[in-house]
Homo-oligomer: A and B are copies of this chain.
Amino acid sequence: MTSSAPIIILHRPQLGENIGSAARAMLNFGLTELRLVSPRDGWPNPAADTLSAGAFQAGVSVGVFETVEAALADLGTVLATTARPRGMEKDVVDAAGGVQLIQARAQKTGILFGAENHGLPSEVVGLADAILTYPVNPSFASLNLAQAVGVFCASWGASQGAVGRWEGEKAGVEPPASKEDLIRMFEHLEEELERAGYFYPPDKTPLMKTNIRNAFIRGNWTTQEVRTFRGAIKALAHGRGKARVVRDD
Instruction: Show the binding face of A for B, using Cβ within 8 Å.
Output: 1, 21, 24-25, 27-30, 53, 55, 58-59, 85-97, 131, 133-144, 146-147, 150-151, 154, 157-158, 160, 163-174, 220-222, 225
Contacts and interface: CB of A to CB of B under 8 A. Distances in A.
A188 to B, nearest CB: 20
A-B interface, 3 closest residue pairs, ranked by CB to CB distance from nearest: A85-B171, A97-B167, A89-B172
A92 B147 contact: no
A131 B171 contact: yes
A207 B238 CA distance: 88
Nearest to A140: B27
A140 B154 CA distance: 13
B97 A25 contact: no
A221 B24 CA distance: 40
Contact of A28 (B1, B53, B136): B136
A174 B91 CA distance: 13
A27 B136 CA distance: 9
A58 B168 contact: no
A166 to B, nearest CB: 4
A222 B86 CA distance: 16
A30 B141 CA distance: 10
Contact of A29 (B30, B86, B137, B158): B137
B174 A92 contact: no
Given A131-B171, A169-B92, A171-B131, A29 B139 contact: no
A163 B150 contact: no
Contacts of A30: 136-137
B87 A173 contact: yes
A160 B137 CA distance: 10
A92 B139 CA distance: 33
Contact of A171 (B87, B143, B150): B87
A171 B81 CA distance: 13
A89 B225 contact: yes
Given A167-B94, A222-B89, A147 B58 contact: no
A167 B136 contact: no
Contacts of A170: 89-92
